[in-house]
Structure 1
Amino acid sequence: MTTSDFMTETGPSTTPATSTSEAALVPAVGTAILMMAIIQVGLVVKGYAPVLDGVLIDPDGYMRLARVTQLWQDGNWFDSLVTRIGPPDGLTLHWSRPFDLLLLLGALLAMPLLGFEAGLYWWGVVLGPLLQVVTVIALLWAAAPLLSRGWRCLLAFLIVPQPAIFRAFAVGRPDHHGVQILLFVLLIGLTLRLIFDPTRRRTAIWAGAISAFAVWISVESILPVALSIAALGLAWLFGDPRALRALVNHGAAALAVVVAALLVERGGGAFDSVVSDRLSLAHVAIFAVNLGFWLTMAGVARYAGAGNLVTRGATAALGALAGLALLWMALPGLFANPIHNGDPLYLAKHMIYIEELQPLIRFPESPGGDWVRAVTRPLLWLGLALIAGPWLIYRIWTTPTGGGGAERLAWIYLGLGAALFLPLAARQARWAFYPEVFLLIPYAALAGTFLDRVAARTSQHVIGVLRPLVVVTLCAWFYVPASLLNAVPQVSAAIRGAASCPIRDLVPLLEDPAGLGAAPKTILALIDFGPEILYRTQHSVLSIPNHRYQPGFAAGYRIMTASDFAAAERGLRAAGVDLVLVCPNSAEDWFYDTETDATTFSEALQAGDPPGYLKRVVLPEPLNGQFKLYALREGSI
């Protein structure tokens, strides 16, 4: 795709007028980026992101850096097995390599000044905000078919404080979600351009390529990809035959890129396995069926004519059912939730408590429950829908159908996206950035319409005062109820854990070549400590937070909850554990709570009363008051 393909204004001739000049876009974007930087720095200053102390804000961030460090050390691109998780079998992570490569390239660029380890850490710290800047610019480009430049000035400000979007780009959170949002925004922009002009062949090819790349980054991107295809399919269904050719080009590009991506990711083993939680042959099959479907529709149209709405709809329905049936028979596990197919013990004891997997709408079970949180939480995360949703419906209803109805279909596409992802976000917070992005464009259109109408009826002095007030109100109103009721999200559990259980302060002891660092050891510790131990030391752990089945998680849980200490010893030796680390001020109290009167292994270790086969390792102050570390004595049962 050429630069002109990305920058050409392809919106309808009825694109609204604006009182703001085109030149205002650049300073508006600059001001929005400055606002973003101030908030990010505020997170650091207030301790929400204590990156200056060497602390990341999420365990996955440590695991990301540990994974990239392993790639740098062994150079084994095609093997995602981390042998230090539950040795000797290890764990194959479901993450893909593109984000690893992005982290690795940044670390290598910083290495001449900082060294690899420090370069990787600091690149991981700043990568989220840098991706946020790119995403702000990308969203302004994406919205061009529907919003004038003046209205996109408003959009630049409105995207910055959105909770779910900002969280994905937070400083000190090296995770793939930022890239995921960026690709999602680009796909929206390409889809809107194809809705207005399906003859843009290169745009269709780029849309297909971005779709495949998004699925490579995260397989959950299959939903926004399917929505993009459905929007173009509606254009064809309602009488635009040009959309059919765009869908064929889109499908061919997507299939080619997803096959190439799988080969790059897995090499010779690309087609050996079928899994649903990472790019595999299953996703090649999905894109192949998609291309086959649109080629079939094109063949029917060529030989039987375009038909009318009813015949096109019936043909498409039959073809879609055939495609789904083919996928169902060939890949019966494809439609199952990959997370719920993981370790049931992990799901019950850990995953259900992960913040981003909690429902945004959940009412207390009793009248005396936390109704403040029940009301303010969805208002904070999804309050945008209360204003932008009705306005979007209004735009769909009132937009003229002239010119083939492309503008109305564009608004319908955004409405379908919001309608699909709002219920998903209500069920799990991790989906919330999707409806936020879909609703931001009508949100900016509403703000622009209001300001333009006021500007037409009042003086420049009044509008000069009113415009910033409106922008600030639209940016911040959904934070007000939570702030007044003291229900704004607090410091994450990972940050609280880093303060009360600073794993980084144990590193000199664990890595001492004259002591515990003389040889790699296996450490049994709370699952949330696993990634940081892997990142900071040479040692192994039994498990990490991950939905895939880990025998070490079940083994560690059985050991720590055992009231039979002889059984706990057998478990320790069977798992090859050398050290047991507990932090009484962490989540261990409730995580290993068995709700029985018998003293558990975990409780005995936290109380400093270990069985005889464990020897307490003396820790210097203040670590001695924060941790208790035990070494398994030599010998057998």
Structure 2
Amino acid sequence: MLASAPTGNPSESPRVSSGGDRSLSVLMIAALLSCAALLVFPQIEAVWGAGAFFDSDDAMRAVQLRDFLAGQGWFDLTAYRLDPPSGQITHWSRVVDVPLAGLTLAFRAFLSPEFAERATRLVFPFALLAALLALAGWLAALLSGAATRHAAIWLTALSGPMFLQFAPGRIDHHAPQIVTLLAALCFLLQGLDPRQAPRLAVCAALMALSLAISLENLPFFIVMASAPALLFVRDGAAARAQLLCFAAGALVAFPALYVATVPRAAYLQLACDAFSIVHLAAILAGGLALLVLAALAPQLATARARAGVLLVAGAASLAGPLLVAPHCLGDPLGGLDPLLRQLWLAHVTEALSLSSIFAKSPGASVAVALPVALGLCCALAFAGFAHGLARRRWLLVAGAIGVGLAAGMWQIRVFSSATPLAMAPLAAAIVRVLAPLEVASALRAALVGVVCALVSPIGLALALSSSEAAGPGGERACLKPHAFDFLATLPPSRVLASFSLGSHVLAHTAHSVFAAPYHRNNHGNRIAADIFLAPPEKAEGLARRAGAGLVLWCAATGEPSPLATAAPAGLAAMLERGEAPLWLERLSPDGAPLLVFALRPVE
């Protein structure tokens, strides 16, 4: 049976750590980072030796970073070589570019610009991985005491972050978002203790920083932001300081980050996929509502009265966004062209639902989802036995995990954020179950480590491994840096290529592209789709009118491209068969994974 965390009055909290415990945690994290580096050494070697990119977002982030360091403005987030001549404004911000630029400039003091960037791409994800492990241990200690810290660190490492969002070369915003989520949650849990109410202001600031990066954590933050309000409903004036601290932090941090990251000309633009006035208006209204609630606390003597006023305040806060931008309550990618959704997004693994992944790879799906579900069950069980502050913390963590699990059913990529949250309660349960064993402490620690390994994502993945296909490997050959060597020798031109190749073309060459895997690039992606789907004789006219100079096709995909299967008589299908129309002249050498064609001059 799971016993409770410390119980008693609401101000009780478990012992978090001692000096020796923290030192051991540091040593443990250092050892795990060393093991992680050994496990992913081939990727480290590929990044350092060849400048490889393993994800389109990392390639595009590198392009954005280079443009920033070359003098492109702070507020100018246009990718000018994507869908030229006007380029494409991305939905990213400069927040992640700040540490990347700082590291790159520091490394340039003793490395060439090229290797300074590569060094940054190796140091950045490993620094964030260290932060992730430390925060996982802190979360476990806040919930159930220092005894579970090391188990949580170990279990989080066994969730495989070094293979996913924290992999070598990973410089996109996903890892920073996971780290800010854990940090915000830890400060929120601390702030639930009335003696540490100012920590709620830090939590609000971390939420603002996260939303300034991207909106990925918004579902988690909705749950977390409800905690101070619900605390006020239950405790009334006793929670007034906590309400004030959270509201003050939000009212200062969110406008400050908005001004710091959003161009003045875009202050009033409605955007569902990035931090915009839609979100800021609701947040400011909510923060002001919390201040009003705090001021009225002495007059609101009953929980029913406080709940009624809170419901009215919440409705008023959401009224504006609901009236002005109701479409933002649905899919943030709702503006994506339906054809592009079918040809591109439907084939992006991280954007698929868990059920879709399960149909292709049931073992992998179970390994991803089961540990999170177990973590949720453990958090709810602990909450059932706990009292006061401990119960509130467990319930809040359970709510965050539950939201992550539900969102992960919709898009599997959410599990990369939900899994670290679930590892703390799962580790606490394992420690608690094995605590009664009358064995030496070293043997008990070993048993905890073994059980953690058995229920971890990596352990389950190994146990459930089968002959399930991991996906086509041929396209990877087309994304390796050396595949672009020949293309890079050609004069800059507009390249017509498939969606998956676009970011890598920008990162490895000086060319421009029409298409890349970004939902805002409807115009350029649709041009590429229309040309590749058209019959070769019609595709020529479309390509020339669009200003294409080169056509690029991956000859080593291993399976048919969606562009080819969607139109068997189209240009893409023809290129897929190894053929080419007369109006295209092949330039690339025989055996090259990337086929490079030039449009022949019109006679």
What is the TM-score normalised by the length of structure 2? Answer: 0.91
1:585-611 CA distance string (max 9 Å, x none): 127733223466x53212333445432
RMSD of Structure 2 on Structure 1 (CA): 2.8
Question: 2:389 is matched with which residue: 406, 421, 427?
Answer: 406
Distance in 1, matches of 2:467 and 2:242, equals 45
More relative contact order, 1 or 2 (CA 8 Å, 6+ apart): 2
Question: Aligned-pair distance for 1:259?
Answer: 1.8
Matched letter for residue 575 of structure 1? A
Q: Is the 8 A contact 1:524 1:541 kept in 2?
A: yes
Q: Is the 8 A contact 1:236 1:243 kept in 2?
A: yes
Matched, 1:169 2:166: yes
Matched, 1:15 2:34: no
* Structure 1 counterpart of 2:370: 383
* Structure 1 counterpart of 2:516: 544
Percent identity at matched positions? 22
Distance in 1, matches of 2:104 and 2:67, equals 13
Give the secondary-structure state (helix, strand or coil) at the position aligned to 1:464. helix
Question: Aligned-pair distance for 1:397?
Answer: 1.4
Question: Aligned-pair distance for 1:431?
Answer: 1.1
After superposition, the Cα gap between the structure-2 partners of 1:363 and 1:205, relative to the gap in structure 1 and judged at 3 Å, is: closer
Question: Aligned-pair distance for 1:238?
Answer: 1.1
Matched letter for residue 27 of structure 1? L
* Structure 2 counterpart of 1:630: 597
Question: Aligned-pair distance for 1:524?
Answer: 0.8
Question: Aligned-pair distance for 1:496?
Answer: 4.8
Distance in 2, matches of 1:140 and 1:570, equals 60
* Structure 1 counterpart of 2:6: none
Matched letter for residue 211 of structure 1? M
Distance in 2, matches of 1:587 and 1:550, equals 27
Matched, 1:576 2:547: yes
* Structure 2 counterpart of 1:497: 475
Give the secondary-structure state (helix, strand or coil) at the position aligned to 2:198. helix
Question: Aligned-pair distance for 1:84?
Answer: 0.8
After superposition, the Cα gap between the structure-2 partners of 1:634 and 1:39, relative to the gap in structure 1 and judged at 3 Å, is: same
Question: Aligned-pair distance for 1:234?
Answer: 1.8
1:60-112 CA distance string (max 9 Å, x none): 11111011111112332111111211111211111111111221111111112
Matched, 1:600 2:578: no
Q: How does 1:358-369 map to 2 (within 5 A)?
A: 358-362=352-356
Question: Aligned-pair distance for 1:363?
Answer: 8.3
Gaps of 5+ in 2: 1-8
Question: Aligned-pair distance for 1:448?
Answer: 2.5
Distance in 2, matches of 1:269 and 1:190, equals 34
Question: Aligned-pair distance for 1:561?
Answer: 1.7
Q: Is the 8 A contact 2:44 2:169 kept in 1?
A: no
More divergent stretch after superposition (335-344 vs 501-510): 501-510
1:213-262 CA distance string (max 9 Å, x none): 11111212222222222112221111242433322332232232222222
1:158-212 CA distance string (max 9 Å, x none): 2112146862211222111111111111111111111112x54532321221111
* Structure 2 counterpart of 1:327: 321
After superposition, the Cα gap between the structure-2 partners of 1:169 and 1:386, relative to the gap in structure 1 and judged at 3 Å, is: same
1:424-444 CA distance string (max 9 Å, x none): 112211111333233222222
Give the secondary-structure state (helix, strand or coil) at the position aligned to 2:517. coil
After superposition, the Cα gap between the structure-2 partners of 1:70 and 1:490, relative to the gap in structure 1 and judged at 3 Å, is: farther
* Structure 2 counterpart of 1:228: 224
After superposition, the Cα gap between the structure-2 partners of 1:45 and 1:549, relative to the gap in structure 1 and judged at 3 Å, is: closer
Matched letter for residue 526 of structure 1? S
After superposition, the Cα gap between the structure-2 partners of 1:202 and 1:591, relative to the gap in structure 1 and judged at 3 Å, is: same
After superposition, the Cα gap between the structure-2 partners of 1:437 and 1:98, relative to the gap in structure 1 and judged at 3 Å, is: same
Matched, 1:477 2:455: yes
More divergent stretch after superposition (376-385 vs 38-47): 38-47
Distance in 1, matches of 2:305 and 2:574, equals 72
Equivalenced residues, count: 594
Question: Aligned-pair distance for 1:46?
Answer: 8.0
Q: Is the 8 A contact 2:137 2:153 kept in 1?
A: yes
Matched, 1:90 2:76: no
After superposition, the Cα gap between the structure-2 partners of 1:41 and 1:54, relative to the gap in structure 1 and judged at 3 Å, is: farther
Matched letter for residue 241 of structure 1? A
Distance in 2, matches of 1:581 and 1:299, equals 64
* Structure 1 counterpart of 2:337: 343
1:572-630 CA distance string (max 9 Å, x none): 0111100011122127733223466x53212333445432322221x34542xx23221
Distance in 2, matches of 1:571 and 1:588, equals 26
Give the secondary-structure state (helix, strand or coil) at the position aligned to 2:192. helix
Matched letter for residue 246 of structure 1? Q
After superposition, the Cα gap between the structure-2 partners of 1:459 and 1:609, relative to the gap in structure 1 and judged at 3 Å, is: closer
Q: How does 1:249-328 map to 2 (within 5 A)?
A: 249-302=245-298, 305-328=299-322
Question: 1:209 is matched with which residue: 205, 210, 214?
Answer: 205
After superposition, the Cα gap between the structure-2 partners of 1:114 and 1:497, relative to the gap in structure 1 and judged at 3 Å, is: farther
After superposition, the Cα gap between the structure-2 partners of 1:489 and 1:74, relative to the gap in structure 1 and judged at 3 Å, is: farther
* Structure 2 counterpart of 1:396: 383
More divergent stretch after superposition (48-57 vs 233-242): 48-57
Matched, 1:59 2:56: yes
Distance in 1, matches of 2:383 and 2:162, equals 25
Matched letter for residue 409 of structure 1? R
Q: Is the 8 A contact 1:614 1:633 kept in 2?
A: yes
Question: Aligned-pair distance for 1:315?
Answer: 1.8
Matched letter for residue 413 of structure 2? R
1:457-509 CA distance string (max 9 Å, x none): x242xx4223213213213434445434434997776x75232x255225443
Distance in 2, matches of 1:178 and 1:451, equals 32
Distance in 2, matches of 1:315 and 1:324, equals 14
Q: How does 1:414-433 map to 2 (within 5 A)?
A: 414-433=397-416
Q: Is the 8 A contact 2:236 2:306 kept in 1?
A: no
Q: Is the 8 A contact 1:163 1:380 kept in 2?
A: no
After superposition, the Cα gap between the structure-2 partners of 1:289 and 1:219, relative to the gap in structure 1 and judged at 3 Å, is: same
Q: Is the 8 A contact 1:25 1:152 kept in 2?
A: no
* Structure 2 counterpart of 1:509: 486
* Structure 2 counterpart of 1:440: 423
* Structure 2 counterpart of 1:118: 115
1:13-59 CA distance string (max 9 Å, x none): 46379xx9751442244224322431343123389976644322211
Distance in 1, matches of 2:46 and 2:466, equals 19
* Structure 2 counterpart of 1:526: 498
What is the TM-score normalised by the length of structure 1? Answer: 0.86
Question: 2:584 is matched with which residue: 610, 614, 617?
Answer: 614
Give the secondary-structure state (helix, strand or coil) at the position aligned to 1:298. helix
Distance in 1, matches of 2:356 and 2:581, equals 43
After superposition, the Cα gap between the structure-2 partners of 1:426 and 1:29, relative to the gap in structure 1 and judged at 3 Å, is: farther
Matched letter for residue 311 of structure 1? A
Give the secondary-structure state (helix, strand or coil) at the position aligned to 1:383. helix
After superposition, the Cα gap between the structure-2 partners of 1:477 and 1:299, relative to the gap in structure 1 and judged at 3 Å, is: closer
